[in-house]
Chain A
């Protein structure tokens, strides 16, 4: 595999949903979208901001840096990404539509992401955001879409953890976030290898901030509103 330009670059740039373009005159979100370059075309086309969902985010440059409330927000951001990944891989396993290497990756990586969900929920206790509903729009049902979407998720999660690291206050949380960040980077490389693209395209990886990350998640259309029949005293997500 020669380290050439990323095959998804051109496609991703063209696939930024129009609503994101209207919200993003400076192009910062489009640039972030370009980084999660392996999200499938169908997913990107399907997604306006799904159902008006705004997931709980840590605003860039939050002044709650280092405070417990700040750490809770960062951890919930991480938990949201883990919910997304865990659900994706779980569904891929259930669909049983993947070839051997991809199915194995879905099984092993999914188990790890589910472990991450459990760990973060354990840390957060009653402060944990609830699991959203997802619609992966067929991307778990064939090899090409699976691996492209999975690469997008993993690269993107790694970058998000990398961005979140420096916003955490407590030493144990920094160590924990670092220990997950590198696992997500491994996953990204693993899936890129399966996809046939260079597993490490650059000498240095860059972070993505939480705001851009959540807008990107929104733009995929994978996240759906909870059914209104669910009884919750407080909303799972802030707008």
Chain B
């Protein structure tokens, strides 16, 4: 994974400790997304779109891997399993779309370890809800930063992720749409949440 470490001779761990936010670097495990500003500097630039789409791709890889594993669980109720299998198929297509859009610029997927969250139903419901809500927030946080063509593509994806969120919440007995608006969050905040899960392997 590329790392913008802000200077020669810094180890990856040092760079991460050194106020990576100031460098506009957001890293989770071995995946570093560089140059993301919290405000759009040049919305719709090709380089900007690439960074944002790679950010989205990390999230979709995470979801795809999570659901692919969960789809094999033997401990879920039938309707939860149906959700996991359907979501797995959808997220795989999301990965495929973003990968196609990025071409040679697509970042590799990191390695993941989901522990028992893909086999224990209560944990799965909790994590799936969190990941889908997070995905919606991530896309919405970037909507104004994307060029029109890229936005047209990501909106096809986030619409379905929002459906997943409402679906899993319905299965879990939660309010499917708790807010009047799904306000976006910054890439930094989203990646911090991802890092906290410990799912992404290869930290520091």
Q: Which residues of A come within 8 Å of B, CB atoms?
A: 1-3, 108-109, 111-112, 115-116, 119, 158, 162, 165-166, 171-172, 174-183, 185-190, 193, 198-200, 202-207
Task: Known contacts A162-B156, A179-B181, A183-B179; decide if A203 and B89 are in contact (CB<8 Å).
Answer: yes
12 contacts between A and B (CB under 8 A): A111-B180, A165-B155, A166-B152, A171-B43, A179-B182, A181-B155, A186-B163, A186-B177, A187-B166, A200-B163, A200-B167, A204-B160
A112 touches B180 (CB 8 A): yes
Give the CA-CA distance A50 to B183 in the complex, in Å.
36
* The 7 A-B residue pairs with the shortest CB-CB distance in the complex, in nearest-first order: A203-B93, A205-B159, A178-B143, A186-B177, A200-B163, A189-B166, A190-B176
B194 → chain A, closest Cβ, in Å? 19
A204 touches B157 (CB 8 A): yes
Q: Quick one: which of B79, B144, B148 has the most chain A CB within 10 A?
A: B144
Total interface residues in chain B, CB < 8 Å:
43
Residue on B nearest A111 in the bound complex, by CB: B180
B163 touches A199 (CB 8 A): yes
Task: Known contacts A112-B177, A199-B166; decide if A158 and B159 are in contact (CB<8 Å).
Answer: yes
Interface SS majority for chain B: helix
Q: Is B165 an interface residue (CB 8 A)?
A: yes
Give the CA-CA distance A109 to B180 in the complex, in Å.
9
Chain A residues with CB under 8 A of B97: 204
A-B contact count (CB 8 A): 144
The listed residue (A115, A119, A165, A187) touching B143 by CB distance below 8 A is A165
Q: Is B200 an interface residue (CB 8 A)?
A: no
B82 touches A1 (CB 8 A): yes
Chain B residues with CB under 8 A of A175: 140, 143-144, 184
What 0/1 readout, one digit per residue, does chain B (10-43) give for beta carbons within 8 Å of chain A? 0000000000000000000000000000001001
Chain B residues with CB under 8 A of A178: 139-140, 143-144, 155, 158, 182, 184
A200 touches B182 (CB 8 A): no
Q: Besides the contacts A179-B184, A190-B170, A199-B170, what 13 more A-B pairs have beta carbons closer than 8 Å?
A: A2-B82, A3-B86, A165-B155, A178-B144, A185-B160, A186-B165, A187-B177, A188-B163, A189-B162, A189-B176, A199-B164, A205-B163, A207-B152
